[in-house]
Amino acid sequence: MRKPKVNRMVLAMCLGCFIMVIFYFQSNLKPASAQGSGRSSGQGKSWRSPLQMLYDSDQLEQSTVQVTHQGRRELLEDACRSYTHKRRVLIPEDLKHVIVDDQHGLLYCYVPKVACTNWKRVLMVLTGSAGPHRDPLAIPANEAHVPGNLRTLSEYSTSQINQRLRSYLKFVFVREPFERLVSAYRNKFTRSYNTAFHKRYGTKIIRRHRPNPQAEALERGDDVSFEEFVYYLVDPATQREEPFNEHWERVHSLCHPCLIHYDVVGKYETLEQDSRYVLQLAGVEGQVTFPASAKNTRTTGDMAAQFFNNIRPFYQKKLYNLYHMDFLLFNYSTPEYLKF
């Protein structure tokens, strides 16, 4: 009569121990799970990832900004369906421009000449790689571009890449394609301090596209005209030899928006508003402020029109065809100053 009672007591004790073991493992797995979703240490139970903040209507009221960004996402998806017929798998090479912030669950594809220096500065502050600096503008511009200061998605394993693409907020900033192109030309070929670009690209452009160049021009490469730059871009031999430099490479080739589903497509034309929106989604608007841009040096549409005045319609058309997908995917109209 006593054996069944003892057996029941032993069974109850074993069951209690089993429950305690399960509870222990569950409590120890939670931090790892939070880290995998981009949760930074020290944040409370109510913390929600930027991706949850974006898609959970209970967290943010529908505002004009949200409606705008939803419209941009839908336009991009429609354009991808209409104009890209061959799908392929992403490879690590495609992800070299995608910067990772594991602490806040962010993936940012940087596009040169679209405020990428300031975005890198902001991410250095957020990830702690800026050292004591809390003000992004305190970080020298050249330091923001040093490889290794920020990690890119190409550095992760396949499973880690997939996990981050699923659970992190993915954002990119774009710009009217020809304004970005003129901005790249002005910065890389008309500034005396950019001797590396003059030697690397200027000498080649002059040698190929200037009739009877002077020996000094061939040596220095520092007086490339915009017309010569356009000839270089539309010359089929250019891309056969090597890929475009990132400063004039097309956005769709840098960031692959038809393979990566970007949650926020910011625009240079609404830079301050869109940057504030991203920082709000990340829950860091009180920690860091996106730097205001110097509007007096910005390349505008009127300025781009002046540069295109000397470009013959035949070459305008060839150049437009080269950047056509960026116009389509990001809903930019064909510039009125083009003559073709």
Helix (H, G, I), strand (E, B), or coil: what is residue 281? Answer: helix
What is the Cα–Cα distance from 207 to 219, expressed in whole angstroms? 10
H or E element in which residue 166 lies: helix 158-167
| Four-residue CA torsion sign, 118, 110, 221, 308 | negative
DSSP 123-184: HHHHHTTTTT--SGGGS-HHHHT-TTSS-BGGGS-HHHHHHHHHHSEEEEEE--HHHHHHHH
> What's the helix, strand, coil split of the chain in %, to 5?
55, 5, 40
- 43 pLDDT higher than 70: no
Average pLDDT, the chain: 87
Average pLDDT over residues 169-191: 97
pLDDT higher than threshold 60 for residue 60: no
- Structure-block tokens of residue 334: 């064909």
Per the CB < 8 A criterion, the answer to whether 205 and 229 are in contact is yes
Crossing angle between the packed helical segments 271-281 and 64-83, to the nearest 10 degrees: 100
DSSP helix/strand/coil, 106: strand
**Phi/psi of residue 172, each to 5°?**
-145, 150
What is the per-residue pLDDT for 23? 32
The predicted-structure confidence for 259-300, as pLDDT tens digits, reads as follows 999 999 999 999 999 999 999 999 999 999 999 877 777 899
Bridge-based pairing of strands 106-109 and 169-174 is: parallel
pLDDT in tens, 303-336: 999 999 999 999 999 999 999 999 999 999 999 9
Helix (H, G, I), strand (E, B) or coil at 169: strand
* CA nearest to 125, candidates 114, 109, 137: 137
pLDDT digit string, tens, across residues 195-234: 999 999 999 999 999 999 999 999 999 999 999 999 999 9
Residue 321's SS3 state is helix
Among 27-36, 114-123, 132-141, the least confident range: 27-36
Residue 254 has pLDDT above 70, yes or no: yes
Judge whether 171 and 266 are in contact, CB under 8 Å.
yes
User: Burial, 154: exposed, middle or buried (Cβ in 10 Å; 0-12, 13-18, 19+)?
Assistant: middle
Cα 213 to the center of its chain, rounded Å: 39
Phi-psi category of residue 224: left, alpha or beta, with phi > 0 → left and psi -120 to 50 → alpha:
beta
Q: What is the DSSP string of 213-266?
A: --HHHHHH-----HHHHHHHHH-HHHHHHSPPPTTTS-HHHHH-TTTS--SEEE
Report the distance separating Cα 151 and Cα 149, nearest Å. Answer: 7
Residue 55: pLDDT band (50, 70, 90) is confident
Alpha-carbon radius of gyration of the chain: 26
pLDDT reported for residue 121 = 97
CB 310 within 8 A of CB 276: no
For residue 126, the Cα-to-chain-centroid distance in whole angstroms is 16
